[in-house]
Amino acid sequence: MNMAMVVDIPLHGMSYTWTNNRERSSWARLDRFLCTPLFLYWFPSIVQKGFCRSISDHNLILLEVPKEDWGHRPFRIQNVWLEDRVLMKGVHEVWKYCSSANSFGVSIVKKSRAIKNFMKERLG
């Protein structure tokens, strides 16, 4: 760690990221990812991988978080579903008749779950 409070993540797969492509070659690690200790706290398994270069005199580097569990996947909606009048009528009915005795925030969550379940059943 240095005075700027950033950490140089170790490079895996190679020891340099640049070469001058001459007969008496020079190599250097010019390209790198720097991050804060807080970033490393949140992503402790992060790695920086080096790949062979192609046309450029710089090697490709990739910042990767292997096998990270990001939690529950959100429900996605397709715009084309909004054009299905029968489906939208069902969504409106579920929203209208879903219990709303709780606070507004809890009510929205319950209604959203009910709509999600309805759409999953309807769309298969």
SS3 annotation, the chain: CCCCCCEECCEECCCCCEECCCCCCCEECCCCCEECHHHHHHCCCCEEEEECCCCCCECEEEEECCCCCCCCCCCCCCHHHHHCHHHHHHHHHHHHHCCCCCCHHHHHHHHHHHHHHHHHHHHC
14 plus 60 within the same structural domain = yes
Whether residue 38 lies inside any domain: the answer is yes
21 plus 53 within the same structural domain = yes
Q: Which amino acid belongs to residue 109?
A: V
Mean pLDDT for 22-40 is 76
pLDDT of residue 1: 47
Whether residue 56 lies inside any domain: the answer is yes
Whether residue 27 lies inside any domain: the answer is yes
54, β-bridge pairs: none
pLDDT of residue 16: 65
85 plus 112 within the same structural domain = yes
Backbone angles phi, psi at 34, to 5 degrees: -115, 140
Q: pLDDT (tens digit, 9 = 90+) per residue, 41-97?
A: 888 888 888 767 666 666 777 788 777 666 777 777 788 888 888 888 888 888 887
Whether residue 1 lies inside any domain: the answer is no
60 plus 84 within the same structural domain = no
Q: Tell me: pLDDT of 37 over 60.
A: yes
Total domain count, the chain: 2
Which pair of tokens denotes residue 120?
Answer: 């999953």
Domain membership of residue 118 as a residue range: 79-123
pLDDT of residue 110: 82
